[in-house]
Amino acid sequence: MYKFLFSSRWLGWFALVCLLSAACSALGMWQLDRRDAIRDDIGNVINNYDAAPVAFEEAAGLFEAYDPAKEWLPVSMTGVYDTENQRIVRNRPLSGRAGYEVVVPLKLSDGTSVVINRGWLPIGNDEAGKPDAVPAAPGGEVTVVARIKPGEPDVQRGAPAGQLASIDLAQYQDEVGYELEQAAYGLMSSEDPRPAAVPEAAPKPSVDEGPHLSYAMQWFAFAVMLFVGLGYAARQEALNLRYRDDDEWEDEDDDEIIAAHPAPGQPRRPRRKQRGSTQEDEEDALLDAQGF
C-alpha cells in the first residue's frame, strides 16, 4: 500500500524534509552552544565578581596572558594616572542610552602600565560627537580596584582625536607611545582617593541564562514535526489510494448486477471482463448476452 513512497515525487519530499530537519537541528545546537557560553560567563560572574581583590603582584600575569576563567576578578593596584593620554571610547550604549566610556593608563611603580576603564558617560548636548564633560582622574598616587576584562578587537573604524573606536589595546599603545599591558584591561570598581565626580559605574552583569534552552527545544521540535507531517501526508495518500480502489470495485459490482438483471424490455449487457478471467468466463458472458 505504501509503494508510492518510492516514487520520485515522494523521494523528493523526503529529501526536502531531511534537509529542513538538519537545518532545524543545527539551529538547535547553535542555541545550546550559546547557552553554554553564557553559562560560562555566568559562572565567572558568580565566582569572581564579588571576590576579595587580588594584589597586582599576584595577578600581573593575567594582564599579559588573558585567562577567560578569571574575567571579572578584582585586582588592586597602585600607581599614577597618565591623564594626558586619557581617551573616550565611542558607541558604548548602557541601559538603552548612547554614550562613551573613559579609559586612561595607570602607571605602576614597577614600570607596568595598565589601561583602566573608569566608567560610562552619556552623549553630550553641547557638542555633537563627545560628552559634555569628562570627570578628571585623581592626580598623584591612587589605589585602584578594577576587574579584569579582555582587550577588544580592532573594529576597522576611525575615531576623532582623543577618542577610540574600541578598547583595542594595541592601537591605544601606538597612540600613547609606550608599552601597555596587551591581554586585558581593568574595569574600575573603586578609587582611593575618590574624586568628587566620577563616570557612571558599569552595572553588575546579569546571571540570567536567557531563552536559549527553550529556543533550542523549539528547533528540535520543528525537526521532529517535519517527519511527523511527512508521515501524516503519506498515511493520507495511502488511504486515498485505498478508497479509490474500493470505489472502482464497487462500480464493477454494480455493473455486473445491472448486466445480470436488466430492466424489463432491455437486453442483458455482457458482464465486464474481470481481472484474471478464464476462457470459460468469457464464453458464459457471450451466452448471457444472447439470452441463453
Residue 208's pLDDT is what?
Answer: 85
Residue 242's pLDDT is what?
Answer: 82
Residue 258's pLDDT is what?
Answer: 52
Nearest to 135 by CA among 194, 74, 76: 194
pLDDT in tens, the chain (292 residues): 678 888 888 899 999 999 999 999 999 999 999 999 888 889 889 999 999 999 999 999 999 999 999 999 999 999 999 999 999 999 999 988 899 999 999 999 999 999 999 999 998 887 777 888 899 999 899 999 999 999 999 888 888 888 999 999 999 999 999 999 999 999 999 999 989 899 999 889 888 888 999 999 999 999 999 999 999 998 988 888 887 766 555 555 555 555 555 555 555 555 555 555 566 666 666 555 555 5
* Burial status of residue 260 (CB atoms within 10 A of its CB: 0-12, 13-18, 19 or more): exposed
Residue 248's pLDDT is what?
Answer: 57
What pTM value is reported for the model?
Answer: 0.69
3-state SS assignment for residue 264: coil
Pair 114, 108: CB distance under 8 Å: yes
Residue 176's pLDDT is what?
Answer: 94
3-state percent helix, strand, coil for the chain, nearest multiple of 5? 45, 20, 35
Residue 17's pLDDT is what?
Answer: 95
Residue 43's pLDDT is what?
Answer: 87
Residue 121 C-beta-side C-alpha neighbours within 13 Å? 24
- How many CB atoms are located within 10 Å of the residue 193 CB? 10
